[in-house]
Structure formats: C-alpha cells, structure tokens
Chain A
C-alpha cells in the first residue's frame, strides 16, 4: 500500500474537522477585514496626505507672495534712494566747474544746500585726477589726502561712478560713499565724492512694517551686513548663513538659519551695486497653523480608521458567522444523508447475505429434520442415540444461524420507516442481542430490567433500534471490561414509557456534557463522526420523545429516553 493511500484513509474521518475548523473561518474573517480596511483606508490616507501637501503648498504661497511683493517694493525704494543721491552728486559735478568746486567757500556753500535739501549727506570732497583731495566740506579734516591707492578710486575712474559698501566712520556711525567722475571738455577729469549716513536705509526698512519675528536687512555680496538686524548681527558682521545664489529677481527660498529656525528668505541682488536686500520670515508662523491642521487631520484619520475597522470587523463577523452556520447545517445534512446511506447499504448487504444464507440453511434444516424423522420412526440400532444427538446439534446450529440471519434482516428493516405498534421491551431485547457477544467477550454485565405490562407504543422500529444501539454503543465504549450496563424500562404515565440505559463507565466532564448532543462533537478522536448522539437526539425528538442525560466523571452515565405512546402529528423520518 502506498503512503498516499494511508494518508487518505486517515484523512477521511478528520475531514469534518478540516471543513469546519474555526481556523478556516478566522483566516477568512481576517482576510475580509484586511481587504475592507485596505480599500477604505488607503484612499482615505492618500486623500489626507494630498490635502495636507496641498494646504502646505498653499500656505507657503500665501506667505511667500506678500513677502516677495514687499521685498520688491523695498528694493525699488532702495534703488530709487541710491539713484537720487547719485544723481544729486552727479548734478553738482556737472553744474559746477572744477574751479568753482576747488574753492573751499563755494564747496562749503554747496554742501550746506545739499544737507538742507537731501537728508543723510555727511561730507563732500573734490579729488583731482591724481587722487589728491583738493577741497573738502564736512566734519573731518581730509584736505590733501591721497586716494590714488584706494580701490574705489580706481573703480570710479573705470566706471564713472561708485557706491561703496557701508563702513563705520570716525564717529562709529555707518556710512557709505558715492563718488562720481566728471569729464571736462578738454579731456581732463576729476571726482566728486560724498559720504552719506545710512539713516535713510533704516527708515526704508522700518517702513516695511514687518512683524516682530521677521527681519529685513541689506548685505553686500560677500555676506557682510550693511544695516543692523534683529537676529543676524550688527552692521559689518558676517551674515550667519551662506549667501543665496545670485538673482536680480526677487527670490524666496526656505532654509534653516543659525538659530535652527525654519525661515523663508526673500532676497534680491542690486544690479548696479554690491548690495543684496534680504527679508526673513520664520516658517514657524505658518507651521503652527499647519501643525494644528495636521493634528486635526490625523485625529480625524485615526477616528475614521478605527470606525472602519470596527464596522468591518462587526460586519465580517456577522457574515462569517452566518456562513459558518450555513456550512455547518449543510455539512450536518450531508453527514446525515451519508450516514443513513451508509446504514442503508449495510442494511441491503446484510439482507442480501441473510437471504442467500437462509435458503441453504432451510435445506439443511429440512434434511436434518427428515433424518430425525426417519430415525425416530425406524428401529433401534446401536448408534441410534449418537446419531440423534448429532442431528440435534445440527438443528441447534441451524437455529443459531437463523437467529443471526433474522437479526441481520431486522437491521435491514430499519430502512423501511413506518410507524407501527411496538413493544419497547422486544426492541430492547432485539438490540441488546446484537451486543451480547461483545458483552460476553469483555465480561460486561448486561442487565435488563424490563417493566411488565408496558403499553405498546406507536413508533418506528428501525429508528428506535438505532437510538438504543447508539446509546448502548457509547455505554460499551465508556465501561471497562467487567463493567455493568443496565437497561430499565417502565411505564412513566399513561401516555409515556421510559427507558433508562445506565453504565458505570468513565463518565463525562461538564464540558463534554454541554456539547454531547451537538453534531460533530466527539471524544472518540479519529474514529467517531460525532454524529451518533446528535442523530439519536434528532430521532427521539422526531418521534415526539425526550432524551436526558446525567453523568459524573468516574462514576458513569445514565441516558433516559421518554417516548410517547401515541406519536405527535407528523412524526416520521
């Protein structure tokens, strides 16, 4: 025999367990729940993430746009201011000749007018081509100074005009210089140089009206601060973060500053000068709104997921339970059909065998009977009594065989269900007859206490036999060799007969008792279908009877069956 066949043989009794095993339904439930949760949570999650990102981008734009506009406006103001101051110096250079300006008094008068009309001018000086300061009007005494070696002087000669970075003057006030070259008709040139304080710059920045957490300032292209700042140092300090890439358009970038703040940095390079205007707005302002939105959304999302899971779980549980119930019902029906078909084929087989055996048995019976007749009529002969003994033995054996075949035929008769008048005691005797051999073999005391004057009941013989046989089979399985099984019948009342089948076997635990009549419940692992007692229960109920059970572990079990003398309406299979 191959291993596979063996396995299949072992699988068959366990098939029931596999089909209705709770694990199968747990897996099913888990799969459905997972699927339901997945299809609802994934779109929800996607939507939440997209929303958050959209909102984030919108917030960014909302903050960046005004910042960009403000910076552009302020840059224009700066450019305008610088252009205006440069034009002033340029105008004076054009309006006056070198000789006029070289006169200390004249220069001083012009300077006084400038100071009155334009704020911020600190001094004014005339420098000739050789780089020597010719005249000077202002608070310092710079007359005669030689600027030949100064880089700015070379640049003004090269470009025609020059605006310096901010520097601290003698009074430690930030200043910057505007120098303009003037070419005369005869080809000679000279330079007019004005120093301007940065008070105007501060005013322009103040006019931006920034909130306290924001900052705006001017730096040069090397990152040296040109105006003082709230958070990034004073004039001429180095900017604490790297300079952004050059762009003459107003550009907004996000970065992390030296204090670890996430900031928006709006900046624009000035095309004609070294200056870069910057405005800083911390992102924390919008991050706060964004964070609170995110918290709200996460809360809503989690609540949604929880709800979805709860609902999915409940629905699936109900669904799977329903499925399981119907599976079990179908399985039970299937098993019952299978069981009765099995019984039916066994019955037919038994009937066929019994019938085939009966005919030769009848011949043996007649032949032996004839021998007995002949012997009885003939004369005595020496061995006559011996022959008579032998014939009697044959006839007794035939009787035994007849008992067996009739019993087999009686079993087959179970298949023909019909309600007839029955003597319960007779059925008990017939049924116990099947088990006498096993009882004798295992030395089990099988005691019948059959009530006298029992009413005949209208019921089905085959089904009753099956009921008694099932219970007695269980009793036989429960008792040890040498145990006792008692069957008692009595008339309970006019309408009811009682049958008690009692054993002194191993008994059942409370847990087992609870499930004993449930289909597929079995303690005979691997060998039982778990159907015997459920079918028994079903039959008794259908016949209008009651079945009860008492059991104690180690002391034994008592089954009591009560059958009506007249079956209720519709009592049949």
Chain B
C-alpha cells in the first residue's frame, strides 16, 4: 500500500540554503513537494506541526547537530524515517546514526536518482 509520490511528505534539513532549496525545487519538479528547514530547531518544529514520512537530515550543522535532531525526532515520532546526509567521509557518523534509528545515510554530493530510490525504500518502510 505505497502512497503515490505526490502524497509523500518529505522534510529536508540542511544549513546550506542554496543546496537544500535547490534540492527541494528539483524534487518538486518530479512531483514531490518537500518542506525545508535550515536548522535543527526549525526542523523539530515542522516535525511537530506535521510529521513527515521521511526526513533528510544533514549531520553536520551549526547549532543543533544532526544526530541530536535525529534522537529528538525518534524519541517523539519513531515512525518518521530519517536519511542522514554526511559530508564527512567517516562512516562513523552514518553508523552511529543507524544505531540511533536512522533509516540509512548518503554522502554529498547526491545523485538525484539515488536519492529518489532511497526515498522510495524509506517510504516502503514508513508505509
């Protein structure tokens, strides 16, 4: 019982505005409307307002760190699937995220097709 793509609720969290807004626009061009948060606090607020199916979360952000956001989200809304974005090559962040309930991790720069595929997998789990 997978939802059609336009009903997917996706939240993008990254402090790089140029990156995240462009990514959001590209997803919207593919029929997927995603909301954008530029820091951890905003992301948590948006999750409270309207919990997304999938959340794409940058690990390394000023202010609240990605892993803290992940823990907070998983504590309140365990059904939200989180895909971590790591700029750091160390898989440590990714692995630690997985231990804290992240769905998977991906490395920047992203390939849009790989991201869509990963989103699909996450949706299956969220569904």
Contact = CB atoms under 8 A, between A and B. Distances in A.
B17 to A, nearest CB: 9
Contacts of A365: 109-110
A359 B19 contact: yes
B26 interface: yes
B29 interface: yes
A369 B112 contact: yes
A363 interface: yes
A363 B90 contact: no
A355 B22 contact: no
Contacts of A364: 109
* Interface residue tally on B, bucketed by range: 20 to 34
B25 interface: yes
B108 A377 contact: no
Given A363-B16, A363-B22, A367-B22, A406 B90 contact: no
Interface in A331-366: 351, 354-355, 358-359, 361-366
B19 A406 contact: no
Contact of A366 (B26, B87, B107): B26
Interface residues of A, number: 27
A377 B29 CA distance: 9
A214 B35 CA distance: 135
B26 A369 contact: yes
A170 B30 CA distance: 167
A408 interface: yes
A406 B107 contact: yes
B99 interface: no
Interface stretch (A278-286, A410-418, A512-520): A410-418
Given A359-B108, A362-B108, A367 B88 contact: no
Nearest to B24: A366
Contacts of B30: 373
Contacts, number: 69
Q: Which of A366, A369, A406, A408 has the most CB of B within 10 A?
A: A366
B92 A416 contact: yes
Contact of A413 (B22, B29, B87, B89): B89
B49 interface: no
Interface in A208-243: none
A374 interface: yes
Contacts of A413: 89-91
Contacts of A402: 109
A503 B18 CA distance: 49
B90 A370 contact: no
Nearest to B21: A366
Nearest to A356: B87
A398 interface: yes
A363 B107 CA distance: 13
A402 B89 CA distance: 11
Contacts of B91: 413
Given A363-B16, A367-B22, A377-B29, A358 B110 contact: no
B89 A409 contact: yes
Nearest to A358: B87
Interface of A: 351, 354-355, 358-359, 361-367, 369-370, 373-374, 377, 398, 402, 405-406, 408-410, 412-413, 416
Interface of B: 16, 18-19, 22-23, 25-26, 29-30, 60, 87-92, 107-110, 112
